[in-house]
Structure 1
Amino acid sequence: MNEPINPARVDFVTLRLFCAVARTGSITKGASACHLALSAASRRLADLEAASGALLLERSAQGVALTPAGHVALQHALRLFHGFEQFSRELQDYSRGVKGHVRLWANMSALTEFLPQALASFLAVHPDIRIEVEEQLSGDIARALVEGLADIGVFAENTPTGGLDVTPFQTDELVVLCAKKHPLARRRRAAFGDCLAHDFVGLNRGSSLLELTSRAAEQAGLPMHLRVQVRSFDAMCHMIAAGLGVGVVPLAACRAQIGALGLKVVHLDDAWARRRLLLASSAGARLAPAAGLLLAHLRALSGSGANADVR
């Protein structure tokens, strides 16, 4: 059984060198980027491989390439650098008089519809707290809360919530968007099953909205033909406007694109089209005072001051 890597044998200079070599495909170029002699760089890389117990780089006359283990090592190295940069940035904030730092992750719907005014009202009372906001997919937000990468999260209700304290936050309306000349454009309302006769534009795999609509199609006993998949609602709207299909989106999150692109809105009769957004933090974790203040503020805006079991 292999022993775990001794942290004392891995330093940031070596990890930065490894990232530079992976990026350039050359030990010589990586060493130059890190201002190291080639012999010193080679020794550091050999020590890193010895410490990890795995071959990280495939060496050839054409340069170097990452092995499967090297790809894993690169992802972890980049995560370490990101964490260190965040650590440095937060400490600098405190030295400048900032009294707290909160990491808030939310899906696009929450960021567009509900959080701007909520954060503005909070920061008006607490101007010395810094809030770092990231837009992420709902499933990624839940995992980040469990792993401690985020303090507070807002995501869609059909996301797994194991290990989280959850409060219902807000409700958004899901609608079908289509181009002006699409057959559905003549309808004001429709059942989702009636829309499944057409091609769809959807979000990429991992999106809670894609999972929700896919499950609704299964319950209707009809396939959902995904013609195009993208990562954002903005991209969805542009694809829909180009006539590549129809798409299910949160109405409020896409109002600007609907007007700008001349899209038609079809309201859904299905009960699931009224979707709850959830406010969450890691179960049992002691939040920093600043994060606790923001969580209480958001809970107050949701109309619920206590946790609710929505799992």
Structure 2
Amino acid sequence: MRNIDPFSVRLFLAILEEGSIAKAAARECIVASAVSKRIGELEALFRVPLLERSVKGVTPTPAGEALQHHARMLLQTMERMYGEMSEYVEGVRGRVKVQASVSSLSSRLPGDIQDFVGVHHGIKIELEESSTPVIFRAVVEGNADVGIAPEISSLEGLQTFPYRTLTLAVVMPIGHPLAAHKQIAYVDTLEYEQVELSRASAMASLLDHAALNFNQPKHTHIRVISYETICRMVACGMGIGVVPLFFAHSHGQTFGLKFIPLSDAWARPMICIAVREGAQLTPAAKAFVEHMKQRGVEERFQHSLFDVMNLHRV
């Protein structure tokens, strides 16, 4: 089989994005006849029609739809290849695209990344904060090398490793009727007005699923985009919410809030390190994953040691 021309692949994707050969040609600064010729060469190469042409525009055939997925992956891989090779010329040994959730970034992840960069001076970390479902989808689709987020969303197509445990807590004003509890079951919060993250978040889905197990309705009239905003709304008397327990250190005394851990089994999800299943990680990405895995092991060892010490004190 002849080699595939990356420019022809790019033209094929441009046609699908623009909906016509003429618009794709204008976007890529090439005459329309040359675009048609290159698409014809692709169709001859694969021996199947890739596009259906009509007065309404151009649409992919079933074979074209299949090629569309592979074409995007091919161009992304080539872009990364050129990017990483140029960095070697500049003396940089690698680059890792990381997407992380707000819950992981609000805990110890920034410090762990700082420690990694301090040791691996030749590796660049490109970090982007996003929601858990978006993070996992980006890893599966190859738009991120590593995702770090709680295991509260679909993990299909991913290989995961434990990083740190996330403890969820109910946040409420200090004078709230539930504030005297040391732990609380989620069902006991449902009679009160709730402040939650947006419906697109994995946390909102988790709480909706938990509430379905009880016959008591959930009252949620305020949805926001961050845990910090939940704390601020609760401080203003707009309801109670569920947030990671570590927010107690930064928001408890400042906003006059009480954070009570949830006793439900699902309220201690694992923050995981996610990579695409079957992916061949670059040496830089592999070093980053191993560093994060080791930090997770160290934390679990410290917690186990703490539990043993407390057991001997009893």
TM range (shorter): 0.5 to 0.7
Mean Cα deviation higher: 157-166 or 35-44: 157-166
- Indicate yes or no: 2:12 matched with 1:18: yes
**TM-fit CA distance, 1:296:** 3.8
Return the alpha-carbon distance in structure 1 between the equivalents of residues 69 and 237 of structure 2. Answer: 38
Q: 1:297 aligns with which of 291, 295, 300?
A: 291
Helix, strand or coil at the partner of 2:121: coil
User: Equivalent residues in 2 for 1:29-40 (5 A)?
Assistant: 29-40=23-34
Q: Which residue of 2 aligns with 1:217?
A: 211
Match of 2:262 in 1: 269
What is the rounded CA distance, in whole Å, between the counterparts of 1:257 and 1:35 in structure 2?
54
Residue 226 of structure 2 corresponds to which residue in structure 1? 233
State the partner residue of 2:244: 250
Amino acid at match of 1:119: I
How far is 1:15 from its partner?
Answer: 2.8
Q: Which moved more, 1:105-114 or 1:47-56?
A: 47-56
Structure 1 letter corresponding to 2:295: L
Q: Secondary structure at the match of 1:35?
A: coil
Task: State the TM-score, normalizing by the size of structure 1.
Answer: 0.67
C-alpha displacement at 1:28, in angstroms? 2.0
Given that 1:237 and 1:257 are in contact with CA atoms closer than 8 Å, whether structure 2 keeps it comes out as: no
Q: Does 1:64 align with 2:57?
A: yes
Structure 1: which 5+ runs fail to align?
A: 1-5
Cα distance change, pair 196–16 in 1 and its aligned pair in 2 (3 A)? same
Q: Structure 2 residue aligned with 1:90, among 84, 87, 99? A: 84
Of 89-98 and 270-279, more deviation after overlay is shown by 270-279
Greater Cα shift, 212-221 or 82-91: 212-221
Structure 2: how far apart are the matches of 1:54 and 1:221? 55
Checking the alignment, whether the CA contact within 8 Å between 2:98 and 2:126 is kept in structure 1 is yes
CA distance in structure 1 between the aligned counterparts of 2:127 and 2:5, rounded to whole angstroms: 30
User: In structure 2, what is the equivalent of residue 131 of structure 1?
Assistant: 125
Instruction: Tell me which amino acid in the other structure corresponds to 1:43.
Output: K
- The match for 2:106 is 112
Give me the CA root mean square deviation: 4.7
Give how far 1:126 is off.
Answer: 1.8
Q: 1:193 — aligned with what?
A: 187
Q: How many corresponding residue pairs?
A: 291
Q: CA deviation at 1:97?
A: 0.8
Alpha-carbon deviations, 1:29-61, whole Å to 9, x = none?
32122222222223333444564735535532x
Partners of 1:286 and 1:253 lie apart in 2 by 36
In structure 2, the CA distance between the partners of 1:49 and 1:173, relative to structure 1 (3 Å rule), is: same
Amino acid corresponding to residue 81 of structure 1 in structure 2: L
Which letter maps to 1:273? A
CA 1:293–1:45: 2 relative to 1, 3 Å: closer
Residue 164 (structure 1) aligned with residue 159 (structure 2): yes
* Larger mean Cα displacement after TM superposition, 87-96 or 43-52: 43-52
Return closer, same or farther for 1:290/1:36 CA change in 2, 3 Å cut-off.
Answer: closer
Q: Which amino acid aligns with 2:296?
A: S
Partner Cα distance (1:226, 1:79) in 2: 40
Partner of 2:48: 53
* d(CA) in 2 for partners of 1:294, 1:279: 10
Equivalent position amino acid for 1:35 in 2: C
Q: Which amino acid aligns with 2:159?
A: L
Which position in structure 2 is the counterpart of 1:3?
Answer: none
